[in-house]
Structure 1
Amino acid sequence: MEDISQYDEDLWEDFEDDWFAPPQITYREAVERLQNLAINRTDVLVEWDGKQEWDGRRWRDDARVVFPEAQGLRVRLKSAAQLNHFERIVSSGIPLPERHAVWYPQDGAIKARLVGDFDQFHSALVRSLFPQQKRAVDLESPLGADLAGMLASTGAFHVSEAADGSGRSLRLVSVPPELSLLYNTRHGGGLSPSLELSGVSASNATEAQKILVAYGTSYLFGLAKAQGASLRLWDTGYRLGSRRGPSYSTKVRFPQRQYDAEPAELYGAGNAAGRHPVERYLKYYQVLEFYMPKAVDWEVTQQGVARQKLAQSPYSRTQKDGSLGIEQNQLDAVINLAVTPADVAGLLGDRELFTTLSNPRIIQHVETLEHDGSGAPLTSSDYRRDISSRVYGIRNRIVHMKEGGGVKGTPLLGLHSREARDLAADLRLVRYLAEKAMEHWATDLP
C-alpha cells in the first residue's frame, strides 16, 4: 500500500497559510478601533463591557454600535472580520432607518434598500444586456453569475444628469455589506438590488431622506415604465400583518351545489397569488357586490316598502345614511344574510387575525374592531356591522384614486403603499365573506 503520509504533509503545508493563519486583528482590537472612530462623532456610540465568554458555539456579550439619532438603531459586531464594513459606517455613514438606507455626506452618496418583484428585475436586466436572450436566466448558470458580477461591480440602469453640471447619478447595484449589517437584508443570490444615488448634498439626515425619496421614487417609476421592473424604496412601516395563511380545506367533494359563474370566476381571480394584494381584495369585494341586488330585494320585501331607497340597512345606521340606496348599506344587507354572528365569532376566534383587525395602526382610516382591553373579542358581540364598515372603508380607499384623497379627504391605499403590503388579514376576511355569500345563494344541483 502506498504511503500517503508525505502527501498529507504537503496538503497541510498548502492550507496552513489560508486556513490556519492567526487572525490579523483580535476582537478587542476591532472594538477599540471602532471606539476611537466614534470619539469623533456625537451620533454614534460603541458599547462593550470588555467581556466575552464562549458558550460552546460562539462568543457572547458582543459589542453594540448604537446610532441614537437614527431611531436608536443598534447593531452587533459579531466578529472582527466585520471591522472594515463597520469602519466605513462609523467613520462616515449616517443611517436612514426609515428607508433602510445609509447616507455618506463626504461622498455625496446614498445607498438604499429596494423591495419588489425581483424576478421582473432579473428579466429586465437580461433584456437590457442580452437582447437576443429568449429564455429566463438560471441564476446558478454562468450567465447568472455574470449578471451578479456585473451588478456588484458596475451596477445596472445607470443614469446621470450632466446638463447642469451637478454630477448627480443613479444606478442599481447589489446590496452593499453596510446595508446587510445595519438592516439584516438578504442578498438573494447576488441579484437583490439596492439603489445608489450619487452627487447629492444635504444639510442633515432628514433632508437627505427627502432627496432619496424624491429622486429614488421618480427613478424607479421611470425604470418600471421603460423596463417593466417592479421595484420600490423600503418603507419603515412595512409589515406582514396576519402572517397565518388562510385555512383552506384539503377535501374536495363531487359538486352538490351550483354556484353563480361570474362570482366563481372573480373568486378564482382573487385567489391568484401572483396578483397584487390590492387587486385580489377588489376581486373578492366584487363577489359581494354581485349579490347586492338580491340582498336589497330581500330587504325591501321584508320591510314592506315600495322602493329601494325607502328600505333601511339591517344594522343601526342613521336615518339619513341608512338607506339601501347607498352601497355601504347594500353591503350590510349581503353580510346580514350570508353570515351569522356565530360565523363571525368563529372566524375572529383566531387571535392573530383579530389582533390585526383591531389595531388601528395597521390599516388606517377604516373601522377597527373593538376588543375587551386584553386584546380579545368582546363577549357576545355582533361584529358584522363593524366588519361591513371596515370592508367598505378599505374598498373606498382603493377605488377612489383621486389626487388629494378619497371620500372626505381619506388617504389613498396605493399599490406601493405600506398598507397594500399589509392586507393579509383583510384579504382573509373579505375572502371568507365572499365564500359565505356564494354558499348562501348557491342552489342544489340535480
Structure 2
Amino acid sequence: MDDVQVDLNRDQAMDGLEEYQKASVLAIEAKGFELKGERSGAAIFADKGAAGRRPRDTLRAIGWSKISEVADDFINGVVQHEEYAGVVNGGKGVAEYYVRVHRSLGTIQLRSLERLDWDSVERTCEHDFTPNSPISAVSTSKASGEGKTVGFHVNSRKEKICVELSLASQTAEFLTSSWSFMTDHLIGRGVRDYSLKVFFDRGVDAAKVAETSLDIVSRIIFELDIRNGISLILSPRERVRFSFDAPSETPRIRFPKVKLPREVAALFSFASETLDNPPYVFLSYYQVLENFLPLAHRRDALKVLQRELRDPFFDENKDSTLIKLLNSIDRTKQVSEEDQLKLLLRDFVRPDKLIEFFGSTEMKHFESKGPIVGVPEISMHPKSDPLSTQVAKRVYALRNRIVHAKDDPKYGSIPVLLPRSAEAGSLKPDVALARLLATEVLINGQD
C-alpha cells in the first residue's frame, strides 16, 4: 500500500467494533469502498476498482465515532456533485459545497467571518444542525488561543429552504478529501474546510436538490460579497493547474531581440499567473491577438487598394474607376472582428506551425463531440476550410462564450463558459492553441 501504514487489518478492526459500527462498515462497503484497517482511531477505506491510481490516492478515512453518520448518508443516496467539490444527498434533501476565501485575503476574510454570530440569527426552521467545534486556525485571541466557531444558518419561509455555513460534514470529507489531508487532520495538524449547505424539505427530488441548491449558493455568495464584504469561492471538483511543455532543447539566455509593446508583453505574462483559471489564461492570449487585429486589417486594406491602383484599367479621371475604389475602401471598413481574426491568423501564423500543433494534439478535443460545446470543430480533412480559418472561427466563438453573458433567447443554446466549471477544466488544448497563436503573432508582427 505504498508508504501508508495501517495499524490493523480489516478482520482485526472489525473484531473490536460495536454491532452498529459493523453494520455501518458494510453499508459503506456496499457503495464501492473496502475497509483496510485502522489508524489513529479512524477507519481506513480504499476505493474498489481504482486500477492505475497510486494506492495512497484511493484511501479515505473516517473516525469511528462518525461512521454511522456517513453510512446513513450513503443509505440515503449521497453522491459527489458532478462539477463542484461537495455532495448531494437527495434522500435527506441536503446539498453541500466546499467554499474557500482567496489566498491573498485569507486572514482578513476569516476575521470578517468571525463576526458572524450563530446566536444572532432567528431560527424558525426545523432542520437539525449543530455548530461545529471551534478550530485553532480561526481564533478570537492570539494570546489565549481561544477559538470561535465560524458560521451561520439562515432560512426562507417563502422558499422553505435554509442555507448554512459551517465546517464540512464528515461525509463530504470522506468522499472528497485526499489521504494526506485526512491523515493530517486525524493527528491534529490539519485545518478542516468550510462548506455551504442547502437544506430542503424531505421528499424533494434529488435532481432538484442538485440544481436549485447551486442557484441558492450562487445567490448567497453574491450577497455575502456585496453586503458583508466576504468573498467566498466555490471549489471545482477537479482543481485545474497546468503548465506548458518546456522546449525540447533549452537555449541559452540571451539579450532580448523580440520587440513588442510593453502592454502586450504584460498580457502574455499575465497568462502564466492564472494557470489555475483556464478561461482567464485563454482571454489573456486572446487579448494579445486582439492587439494586432487593427494591424492585420490595415495590411489587408492596403493590399486591396494596391490591387485597384495597379489595375491597368484604373483611370483617376474616370468616375467609374474612382467609385470602384471607394467601394473597395468601404468594404474594408465593414470587416467584423471575427473576419479580422481570420486575416490575422492567415497572414501572421505559419501554416506549418498549425499542422505541427494538431499533429501532436489529441484531435478528439477539437471534434464536434469534444468537451467544449457551442464552438466550431477543427478538422484536418482536405475538403475543410483552410486550417487558419477553422482556428479563427473556434477561437472567436470560445472567446464569446467566456465574455458574453447576455440574457437573450438567441444566446440560450450557447451559455456562458463559467470559470470554475467542468468545461473550464477541459480547456487546456484550446489554451495551448491560443498560446501558440499569440506567440506566432508576436514574432511575425514586430515589423
TM over 0.5: yes
CA apart distance, 1:393: 0.7
Change in CA separation of 1:288 and 1:309 when aligned onto 2, cut-off 3 Å = farther
Alignment of 1:49-64 (within 5 A): none
Q: Which residue of 2 aligns with 1:173?
A: 166
Q: Which residue of 2 aligns with 1:160?
A: 154
Q: Which residue of 1 aligns with 2:347?
A: 337
Change in CA separation of 1:175 and 1:260 when aligned onto 2, cut-off 3 Å = same
CA contact (8 A) 2:139 2:148 kept: no
CA contact (8 A) 1:109 1:196 kept: yes
Q: 1:227 aligns with which of 229, 240, 250?
A: 229
CA contact (8 A) 1:121 1:230 kept: no
Once structures 1 and 2 are overlaid, which stretch shifts more, 363-372 or 112-121?
A: 112-121
Q: TM-score, normalised by structure 2?
A: 0.65
Change in CA separation of 1:251 and 1:432 when aligned onto 2, cut-off 3 Å = farther
- Give the 3-state SS of the residue equivalent to 1:144 in structure 2: coil
Change in CA separation of 1:158 and 1:80 when aligned onto 2, cut-off 3 Å = closer
CA apart distance, 1:200: 3.5
Change in CA separation of 1:209 and 1:382 when aligned onto 2, cut-off 3 Å = same
CA contact (8 A) 1:174 1:194 kept: yes
Root-mean-square deviation (CA), in Å?
Answer: 4.8
Pairing 1:26–2:20 present = no
Structure 2: gaps spanning 5 or more residues: 1-6, 38-43, 50-57, 117-134, 141-146, 309-324
One-letter amino acid of the structure 2 residue matched with residue 229 of structure 1 = S
CA contact (8 A) 1:405 1:411 kept: no
Change in CA separation of 1:61 and 1:394 when aligned onto 2, cut-off 3 Å = closer
CA contact (8 A) 2:25 2:67 kept: no
Q: 1:357 aligns with which of 342, 366, 373?
A: 366
CA apart distance, 1:342: 0.8
Q: Which residue of 1 aligns with 2:446?
A: 442
Structure 1: gaps spanning 5 or more residues: 1-17, 39-43, 54-59, 66-74, 132-141, 148-152, 312-322, 373-377
CA contact (8 A) 2:79 2:87 kept: yes
Distance 2:239 2:349 in 1: 30
Distance 2:8 2:207 in 1: 45
CA contact (8 A) 2:151 2:164 kept: yes
CA apart distance, 1:158: 0.9
Alignment of 1:3-402 (within 5 A): 25-26=14-15, 33-34=23-24, 45=30, 83-84=67-68, 86-92=70-76, 94-95=78-79, 97-98=81-82, 100-103=86-89, 105=91, 109-114=94-99, 117=102, 120=105, 123-129=108-114, 144=137, 146=139, 156-161=150-155, 168-184=161-177, 189-198=190-199, 200-225=201-226, 226-232=228-234, 234=236, 240=240, 243=242, 245-247=244-246, 251-273=252-274, 276-303=277-304, 304-305=307-308, 306=325, 307-308=328-329, 310=331, 325-352=335-362, 354-358=363-367, 360-370=369-379, 383-402=387-406
CA contact (8 A) 2:167 2:194 kept: yes
CA apart distance, 1:363: 1.8
Q: 1:411 aligns with which of 411, 415, 419?
A: 415
Q: Which residue of 2 aligns with 1:12?
A: none
Q: Which residue of 2 aligns with 1:72?
A: none
Once structures 1 and 2 are overlaid, which stretch shifts more, 404-413 or 417-426?
A: 404-413
One-letter amino acid of the structure 1 residue matched with residue 165 of structure 2 = L
CA apart distance, 1:262: 3.7
One-letter amino acid of the structure 2 residue matched with residue 369 of structure 1 = I
CA apart distance, 1:388: 0.9
CA apart distance, 1:79: 9.2
One-letter amino acid of the structure 2 residue matched with residue 337 of structure 1 = D
Distance 2:303 2:153 in 1: 66
CA contact (8 A) 1:332 1:385 kept: yes
Change in CA separation of 1:269 and 1:302 when aligned onto 2, cut-off 3 Å = same
CA deviations 1:320-355 (Å, max 9, x no partner) are xxx971211111111112111111122234335x45
CA contact (8 A) 1:111 1:196 kept: yes
Distance 1:239 1:275 in 2: 7
Q: TM-score, normalised by structure 1?
A: 0.65
CA apart distance, 1:392: 0.7
CA contact (8 A) 2:113 2:150 kept: no
Once structures 1 and 2 are overlaid, which stretch shifts more, 336-345 or 274-283?
A: 274-283
CA contact (8 A) 1:101 1:112 kept: yes
Distance 2:200 2:276 in 1: 37
Distance 1:403 1:37 in 2: 46
Change in CA separation of 1:97 and 1:109 when aligned onto 2, cut-off 3 Å = closer
One-letter amino acid of the structure 1 residue matched with residue 265 of structure 2 = A
One-letter amino acid of the structure 1 residue matched with residue 14 of structure 2 = I
CA deviations 1:274-328 (Å, max 9, x no partner) are 79543443332222222222222322343425435546xxxxxxxxxxx971211
CA contact (8 A) 2:114 2:138 kept: no
CA contact (8 A) 2:110 2:138 kept: no
- Give the 3-state SS of the residue equivalent to 2:195 in structure 1: strand
Distance 1:344 1:301 in 2: 26
CA deviations 1:222-244 (Å, max 9, x no partner) are 22333342412656xx674x955
